[in-house]
Amino acid sequence: MSRLRVLSLSILCAGMGLAQPAFSAPFPNEYVQTYLDQCGKTATAEGLPGELAQELCGCTLNEFQARYTVTEFQSLRIKAEATPPDTAAQTTLSKVGETCFNKLVFVEE
């Protein structure tokens, strides 16, 4: 999968949550379920096998929850999806996706 597709997938997955009031990590259950469902659909549409898509989405969710509150994550997502998009926010979100993708695809045996 190309770097551009991983970037696109990361940003799309990051943008799939529901609007929620401010909470500290961990994210609310409904937010988590929506994120995982939409991320999985996006990842499989991009060509990832179902199991790998689930692992990628779980990894990115864990990373986002470890780094950000829901409010911070939503702010990044909104900036990344703005017109014109905030490239710093896109880069921040895509790095999480790339890190997880590399962990899953380039696993040392």
Q: Which residue is listed with tokens 């986002």?
A: 64
pLDDT score recorded for residue 9 = 58
Please report, as a single letter, which amino acid is at residue 1: M
pLDDT score recorded for residue 17 = 43
Report the distance separating Cα 53 and Cα 66, nearest Å: 20
Phi-psi region of 47 (alpha: psi -120 to 50; beta: other; left: phi over 0): left
Contact in structure between 1 and 48 (CB atoms under 8 Å): yes
pLDDT score recorded for residue 3 = 46
Quote the radius of gyration of the chain (alpha carbons, Å): 13
Structure tokens, 43: 């990842």
Which ranges of the chain have pLDDT less than 70?
A: 1-25, 107-109
pLDDT score recorded for residue 104 = 87
Going 40 to 9 to 98 to 75, the CA torsion angle's sign is negative
pLDDT score recorded for residue 24 = 43
pLDDT score recorded for residue 10 = 54
